Structure 1
C-alpha cells in the first residue's frame, strides 16, 4: 500500500474555506461566471458551449479547439511551433502534475524539487518510490534558489528537476538567464525539466520588455521539458477543472498519454469548450488584462498593509502570480503560524494559510496570502488583520 502523506494545504482549505468571511487564502484570480466570460469576449453573440452535440467521451487527448489555442500560446514567443499533438488535457493542473510523476518516475529515480512549493510536486514522486532532494530557496535571495546548490544535488540517477514558475507561495519568478542555467545543467545530464506554470501569465511586477522576463520552459529550445498549466489561477475558471501538459518531446507525451488512459480517459466536453472560449484570441486578452490589473491593484494594497504593520511582519514583494508569503513575528521572534491563523479566523473571519504547516517547518511565522481576489474583500480583510495584529498578536503563541 502506498503511504500517503497528509496534503496539508488542501486539508486546511477543506476545513476552513467555506466557513470564513474573508477568504484571503484563495489562490485563483477572482473567479468569474460564464456570463461574465462572454462579456469579456469581443464575440458576445457566440455560444460558449454547444448544447446540441451529444455528450460522448469527446476527443480522448483533448478537444482540438482547446489544444490549438494552447499550442498558439506556447508558440508565440518561440521560433518553433508547438504542435497540438504535443499537448494533453487533464482534470486540473493537479492531475497534470500527478500524471507526469505517475508516468515517468519510480524506484531508482532521483528528483530535485524547487522548495518551498505546492506539496504534491515533491510528495507524489516520493509516494511512487523516487528519491527526492529539495532545492531550497530563501528570502535573502528574493526566493530564488542557488544554481551552485543545484549542481551539488545532481546524481547519476537524477531523472527530473521540478520547478514552479511563477512561484507558489512567494510570488517570485525564476528569470530567463536563471532558467537557461537550469537548462544547461539538465541538458548536460539528459535530465527532464518539469515546470509547473499554473500561475503563468499573471506577471504584475515584471514586463515582457524586461530582459529577465521568463518565457515558458517550452519556449527555450530544450526538448526534454514539460510545462503544466490550468484555467484555475490565471484564467479565473477553477470550476471547470481544466489543466494541461505540454512538451517539446513527443516521446514524453506518449508515455504520459499511456498512463493517462488509466486515470481519466478524457476530459469533459463542456469544460473543454468553456476553456477554448476563454483562450480564444477574441477573449483571452480581455480576460488577462482584467486579472493582471486586479493583481497590480491588490499587490499595492498588500504592500501598504505590510508597511503599516512593519513592526510585526515582513515579506519579499511578489512580482507575479497571486500569492504572497508574509512572516509575522513578535519582537523579532516568529509566531506559531497555525495558532496565528486559527486565532485570526476566530476573531475576524479572515482566512490565511499557515506556512509552517502547509509548506514546511522551515517556514516558522510565515503565512500564505492570496491577494488577487475581489479588491474590496481583500482590503476589508486586511484591515481586519491590522486590527488583530494591534489587539491580539500578544495572545498568539511563538513558534517553538
Structure 2
C-alpha cells in the first residue's frame, strides 16, 4: 500500500479557511470573478457566446488546440504538442512524478517547498534528499551542495520556482547551473512554476527554455487569479509527453470543455490579467513593507514579486498553537510554518484584497503584542 504523509498546508486550510474573516494565508493573487472575466474583452458578450455555444461533451482530452497554443506562447521555444492539460499544477506534478519515479531512484528536492514534490517520490519508493534553502542566505540554496547530492541514481531534481512558501526565486544563472549538474548524470529537472514573479527584473525563466530534460508544470491558480478553474499543464520534451499521456488517461481523462474555454480565454487576455495583478502586488507589497517597518515582532526575507511570503514571528509559542488562537480570537488566518516543516514562521499571502490585508495585519499586530 502506498503511504503518504498528511499534506500539511492542505490539511490546515481544509480545516480552517472557511472559518476565517481575514484570510491572509492564501498564495493566490486576489481571485477574479466571472464578471471580472467578462470585462477583460472589449465586447463583454464574447465570453457569454463562448460558454453558451459550447457542447458539453468531453472535448479534446489533452486540452484544445487553442489552449495548447496559448500555453506554448508563454515559453521561448515550445511547440503546442509539448503541452498537456492537467487538473491544476498538483495534477501536473502528480503525473510527472508517477510517470518517472521508480523504487530505488534518488530524487533531490528543494526544501522547504511544496510537500507534494518530496513526499510523493518518497511514497513511490525513491530515496529523497533535500537541497536546503537557508533563511540566513535569503532562502537561497548552495549549488555546491546540489553537486554533492547528485549521484548516478539521481532520476529527478524537484524545484518550486518561485518558492512556496518563501516567495524567493532561483534566477536564470542558477537554473542554468542546475541544468548543467543534472546533465552530468542524465537527471530530469521538474520545476513547479506556478508562482510567476510579476516584478520585471528579467532574471526569471522557465526550465524548459534552458534544459532538454527540463519539465515545467504550471496552472492558472496563482499568478492568473482563477484557481477555481482547476486547469494546469505540463511542458516537456516529446518523449516525456508521450509517457505522461498514459498517466493522464488513468488520472483525469480531460479538464472539461467549460474549464478549457475559460482557461484559454484567460490566457488570451493574460496581458490585462497580469497588468491588474502586477498593480495589486506592487500596492499590497508597499502596504506590507510599511507594516513590517513598524512591527518589531516580525522579520522577513522579501519575496521576489510573487504572492506568498514566509515571515518569522518573534514569539516563544509554536506557530500551530499561535495560528489557531489567532484565528479563533481575531478571525485572521495564516498557515503555520510547521505545515512546511519549518517552525517559527508563517505563510502570509499579502495579495489578498487590500481591505482584508490591512485589517488582517492590524489584528495580527494587536494579537502579537498582547502575547508579550
TM-score w.r.t. the length of structure 1 is 0.90
| Equivalent in 234, 248, 261 of residue 223 of structure 2 | 234
Residue 371 (str. 1) matches residue 350 (str. 2): yes
**More helix by proportion, 1 or 2?**
2
Other-structure match for 2:232: 243
Paired residues of 1:305 and 1:386 also in contact (CA < 8 A): no
Post-superposition CA distance 1:71-127 (Å, at most 9, x none): 1111xxx3x3x1111000011111110111111102011100011011111111111
Distance apart, 1:50 and its partner CA: 3.2
**Structure 2 counterpart SS, 1:156:** coil
User: Runs of 5+ in structure 1 lacking a partner?
Assistant: 395-400
Other-structure match for 1:207: 201
Distance apart, 1:153 and its partner CA: 0.6
Task: Give distance in 2, aligned partners of 1:17 and 1:260.
Answer: 30
Task: Give distance in 1, aligned partners of 2:31 and 2:58.
Answer: 27
| Equivalent in 166, 180, 186 of residue 184 of structure 1 | 180
Task: Give distance in 1, aligned partners of 2:72 and 2:343.
Answer: 41
Paired residues of 2:54 and 2:257 also in contact (CA < 8 A): no
Other-structure match for 2:108: 112
Task: Give distance in 2, aligned partners of 1:338 and 1:316.
Answer: 21
Other-structure match for 2:303: 318
Other-structure match for 1:9: 9
**Structure 2 counterpart SS, 1:325:** coil
Distance apart, 1:188 and its partner CA: 1.5
Residue 217 (str. 1) matches residue 204 (str. 2): no
Post-superposition CA distance 1:339-367 (Å, at most 9, x none): 110111122110000002x111xx22100
Paired residues of 2:28 and 2:223 also in contact (CA < 8 A): yes
Matches within 5 A, 1:138-217: 138-200=134-196, 202-204=197-199, 206-208=200-202, 213-217=203-207
Distance apart, 1:141 and its partner CA: 1.2
Task: Give distance in 2, aligned partners of 1:111 and 1:25.
Answer: 29
Paired residues of 2:194 and 2:218 also in contact (CA < 8 A): yes
Residue 276 (str. 1) matches residue 264 (str. 2): yes
**Structure 2 counterpart SS, 1:135:** strand
Other-structure match for 1:337: 319
Task: Give distance in 1, aligned partners of 2:274 and 2:318.
Answer: 37
Post-superposition CA distance 1:319-348 (Å, at most 9, x none): 132111011114xxx531111101111221
Q: Where does structure 1 differ by over 4 angstroms across 4 or more consecutive aligned residues?
A: none
Distance apart, 1:42 and its partner CA: 3.8
Distance apart, 1:152 and its partner CA: 1.0
Paired residues of 2:220 and 2:230 also in contact (CA < 8 A): yes
Paired residues of 1:173 and 1:320 also in contact (CA < 8 A): no
Post-superposition CA distance 1:200-240 (Å, at most 9, x none): 2x323x523xxxx11111122x2101101111101111111
Residue 64 (str. 1) matches residue 65 (str. 2): yes
| Compared CA separation, residues 270 and 351, structure 1 to 2 (3 A) | same
Residue 351 (str. 1) matches residue 333 (str. 2): yes
| Equivalent in 128, 131, 134 of residue 132 of structure 1 | 128
